[in-house]
Amino acid sequence: PESFLSVRDLKVRFSTEDGIVKAVDGLSFDVERGKTLGIVGESGSGKSVTNLTILGLHNPRTTTIEGEIVLDGQELVTAAEKDLERLRGNKMAMIFQDPLTALSPYYTVGRQLSEPFMKHTGASKKEARDRAVQMLEKVGIPQPKTRFDDYPHQFSGGMRQRAMIAMALMCDPDLLIADEPTTALDVTVQAQILDLLKDLQQEFGSAIIFITHDLGVIANMADDLLVMYAGRAVERGSTKEVLGRPSHPYTWGLLSSMPRLDGDINEELTPIPGSPPSLLNPPTGCPFHPRCAYKDQVAGTLCTDSRPPLAPGRAAACHLTAEQKQTIFIDKIQPR
Ligand code: SF4
Ligand code: MG
């Protein structure tokens, strides 16, 4: 299958007062046209940084980027700012967790949808207005012609989220990056927004990168899954494979710390012990080793000394053998 977005050995480093933060440390993945890639991981795992890097939204003075990001044949790491700006206007768009980071309180929703569109496409005011009204209607805003002239504060939280999706769709993006797009919403509105995104993907054929810490949401949204930890991918595969037969201790931990949809509501959830590592001084070897309950099953000091590679395709970056993973999964993880 043709890979629409290809990321290879991406490294993103920030210079801070305390030293160099390795926010993303050798990440590779692909997204196909019309498909959704879910990226999961705790905060600080590098998911948001990766996506801001794809969009070219880092401060070049404090950020070093290495590796390759190729979107539909175009290399983005070395692209000039004006090319990135053009791509952000008509090839890729972002939906944030908080619509107020994308919508200004000072201008009407309609103006914020139509002005960038005029700028990027050379459309007339009337054409831009028509398109904005059409997009507001598509995302389910009632009376879009009237609502066009409302300010963001006149919208409910769910409607602002819809307006931001409409804004992202104005330019008919080929790549849509959604960063925790429903986290701030109540469960009913969240389900509506997720359904909306799926419908729009069908209609527009966009590739979507969906970033979340919620495996329940990802199960329902993503075709493929990338599990990130400490700026690296630790497990990858189709969502069905990864959630059906996870094979990395960190993924096991994520699964045991989430409520099952069919589960007893009183079921006890086990959070992963410990906290995510400092990216100023990442652990040696496997970055998960300080928190891993299974490292004693690996021979010698492999886990603390040697970084487990992530093979291409369906894979987990862990020194346990396939047999050990299978046994642990069947004995300890599956029956919960
Ligand atoms: Fe745990 Fe070792 Fe696998 Fe890392 S490589 S996840 S420390 S068993
Ligand atoms: Mg984030």
* Single pTM value for the model: 0.90
Domain borders along the chain are 3-91+174-192+200-333, 102-172
**pLDDT over 80 (residue 306):** yes
pLDDT-derived band at 1 (thresholds 50, 70, 90) equals low
Q: Helices 157-169 and 109-121: crossing angle, nearest 10°?
A: 10
Q: How far apart are the first and last CA of the chain?
A: 36
Q: Band the pLDDT of 191: cuts 50, 70, 90.
A: confident
Ligand 1 centroid–CA 22 distance in Å is 20
Could you identify the atom of ligand 1 that is nearest to the CA of residue 304?
Answer: 7
Rounded to whole angstroms, the Cα distance separating 263 from 63 reads 44
Q: Are 176 and 93 in contact (CB under 8 A)?
A: yes
The preferred substitution site among 272, 303, 329 for testing ligand 1, maximizing ligand atoms within 8 Å of CB, is 303
pLDDT in tens, 262-297: 555 555 567 788 888 989 999 999 999 999 999 999
Contact predicate 184/164, CB 8 Å: no
Exposed, middle or buried by CB within 10 Å (0-12, 13-18, 19+), for 268? Answer: exposed
State in words which class domain 3-91+174-192+200-333 has: alpha beta
Q: What pLDDT shows up at residue 193?
A: 85
Give the pLDDT band of residue 97 (cuts 50, 70, 90): confident
Asked if 236 and 224 count as a contact pair (C-beta separation under 8 A), the reply is yes
Distance CA 297, CA 318 (A): 12
Answer yes or no: is pLDDT of 2 > 70. Answer: no
289 lines ligand 1 (CB under 6 A): yes
Strands 224-229 vs 36-40: parallel, antiparallel or unpaired: parallel
ipTM: 0.93
Q: Is 5 helix (H, G, I), strand (E, B) or coil?
A: strand
Residue 99 has pLDDT above 80, yes or no: no
Among protein residues, the one with the nearest Cα to ligand 1's atom 8 is 295
The per-residue DSSP string of 226-264 comes to EEEETTEEEEEEEHHHHHHS--SHHHHHHHHTS--TTS-
288 Cβ below 6 A of ligand 1: yes
